[in-house]
Structure 1
Amino acid sequence: MRIRIVDAFTDRPFAGNPAGVLLLDSFPDDEWLQNVAAEVNLSETAFAHPLAAGGAADWALRWFTPATEVDMCGHATLATAHILNTTGAADGTVRFAARCGILTATAQRDGAITLDFPTAPLTPEPEPEGLADALGAKVLSVRDTGPHIGDLLVELTDEKAVRSLSPDFAALVAHSGRGIIATAPAADPGRGYDYVSRCFFPRVGIDEDPVTGSAHTALAPFWSARLGRDSLTGLQASARSGLVKTTLRGDRTLLTGSAVTVIDGELQV
């Protein structure tokens, strides 16, 4: 059984966010899928199989962390679309049926891929007691991001504060359904990005996710409202780092990035 590892939201190997991708004939039982994701041990492994022609979607798609299945994942969707387009299994736009609804991925001539995802609804929340201590930084504001991603979007004072975070991951577990998105404006927008973020998901087995596409469905409306532009570029300032271009279109958010296949092998199961 063929398995690929793809670095997503980057145009070079060993950066961005790595995802496992398996194309199947159908989904085996959930225990098998979870065991494979645990063995791959990346932030997400994507499993996809083709659907009958004529329906609302072309492929069924699921995502698993090493610990659990998740409702939405951007980088592993990008990685799957990259594999489908580079292997000839798809051409142009691919429609995925996922737990969060129908998602599309459109390959562009330069090799970049644009994902069409639901925009996260943002609801202001009081700062939870203990959140600033768990993050180790002053919190300016907090937003709930709705049921699909289930994170808290936490605004910090500046880019330096985001980059220097060293959270207490055990303490962060208590503060959201999935995790924490920490963000601030770019210190110098002339460097090619408008805002920075880092994402922490210890509750689902990922202390820090390198580049989180789904988080940008919340970051896009937050920063578009602040900066007055629908099209922005976000830098996720993890150790691996990656850029996500976002375009806000009402209840949908377009996420654009590149991907690189770094491993192509056989799963011996």
Structure 2
Amino acid sequence: MEVGHYYLLDTFADVPFQGSPTPVCMLSELLDAPTMHQLAQELNAPVTAFVKPSDVEGDFMIRYFTTEGEIPACGHATLGAAFVLLTQETSFNKIKFVTIEGIRPKAQITNDLTYIEYPRFPHTIIDIPPKLLEALGMPTPLTHFYSSELQSLFIELDNPNEVNRIQPNFELLKQSTDDIKEVVVMSKSNDEAFDFILRSFCPWIGINEDPVTGSIHSVLGPYWQKQTNKSDFAVYQASERGGKIFVKTFDDHVALGGHCKILVAGKLLL
């Protein structure tokens, strides 16, 4: 039985096989959570997005699943879903998503970049668990902070070489804490094309290293705005696949932009 359309995209990339591989399932009716989880396991990507129209025109319900289970938010999956809706599935110029937590990111395409809007999230200072630093095997942080909204720890290092050299012990990282679901390590860039670089580690949700991460910039946009007195940023995620994120900060939100490349399109049959 056909239940919707299926797309495989590379998000935050303008050529194939870079950025984040992102399955997007466009559904006529939302599937139950166990079935969506099984599909995510079958597709075996970092995150799979499931989307269906809501009762409000231009609004779409969206859910996110990793191979380990459901997560409340995912920037690259939202970006991929927005690109599919705006270029393949609808004639809307702007759309809005509704997440399971009631967050309503808006999306549109501007100058060939797909942008999604997130609230500006604050950050606080916490103590880093010693085992976490041991698992990362990295030098003493320049600074660090935590986002409770994203359950993410952010660590700034002195230079990109230190970021690139990190080789985490992922099993030890998982054992180091139950309160953190993602560790983002970053520094200023030494490449004039980018303002800062980062890597993201999420073994707690089944993603050892995320190829490209979107939602964290709801925290990082305001942070780097304060550090640099700039409002627009070009960011490079230094994963194995690599990805480019374009961030614009505003008084009440952050816009995350990126290119998307559709590789596969077809029917979803169950």
TM-score bin (small chain): over 0.9
- Note if contact 1:137-1:156 (Cα within 8 Å) is conserved in structure 2: no
Q: Is 1:5 aligned to 2:13, yes or no?
A: no
Equivalent residue of 1:134, what SS?
helix
Given the alignment of the two structures, is residue 253 of structure 1 paired with residue 254 of structure 2, yes or no? yes
| Mapping for residues 122-201 of structure 1, pairs under 5 Å | 122-138=123-139, 139-147=141-149, 149-173=150-174, 174-175=176-177, 176-188=179-191, 190=192, 192-201=193-202
Alpha-carbon separation, structure 2, partners of 1:120 and 1:158: 25
The superposition leaves residues 72-125 of structure 1 with CA deviations (integer Å, 9 ceiling, x where unpaired) of: 1111111011111221414211111113411111112x3211110122211112
CA distance in 2, matches of 1:142, 1:268: 46
Q: Deviations over 1:21-75 (max 9, x none)?
A: 0111221111001000111111110001011236xx6111111111111111111
Runs of 4+ in 1 over 6 A off after TM superposition: none
Alignment of 1:114-129 (within 5 A): 114-129=115-130
Structure 1: give runs of 5+ residues left out of the alignment: none
The answer to whether the 8 A contact 2:13-2:260 is kept is yes
Unaligned runs of 5+ in 2: none
Aligned residue-pair number: 263
- State whether residues 113 and 257 of structure 2, in contact with CA within 8 Å, keep that contact through their aligned partners in structure 1: yes
**Correspondence 1:48 to 2:51:** yes
Question: What is the aligned-residue RMSD (CA, Å)?
Answer: 1.5
* Shift in Å, 1:259: 0.3
Counterpart AA for 2:199: R
CA distance in 1, matches of 2:23, 2:88: 16
Q: 2:229 maps to what in 1?
A: 228
What amino acid is the match of 2:153? L
Q: How many angstroms does 1:18 deviate by?
A: 1.1
Deviates more, 1:253-262 or 1:224-233: 224-233
Preserved CA contact (<8 Å) 2:25 2:268: no
Amino acid at match of 2:215: S
Q: Tell me the secondary structure at the aligned position of residue 20 of structure 1.
A: strand
Corresponding residue of 1:97: 98
Query: Residue 172 of structure 1: CA displacement?
Result: 1.5
**What amino acid maps onto 2:157 in structure 1?**
L
Output the CA distance in 2 between the equivalents of 1:209 and 1:90.
31
Residues 59, 164 of structure 1: alpha-carbon distance in 2 compared, 3 angstrom cutoff: same
Following superposition, the deviation at residue 150 of structure 1 comes to 1.0
| 1:36 matched to 2:26 | no
1:187-213 per-residue CA deviation (whole Å, 9 max, x = no partner) reads 23x2x1000000010000000000000
Q: Secondary structure at the match of 1:124?
A: coil
Percent identity, please: 29
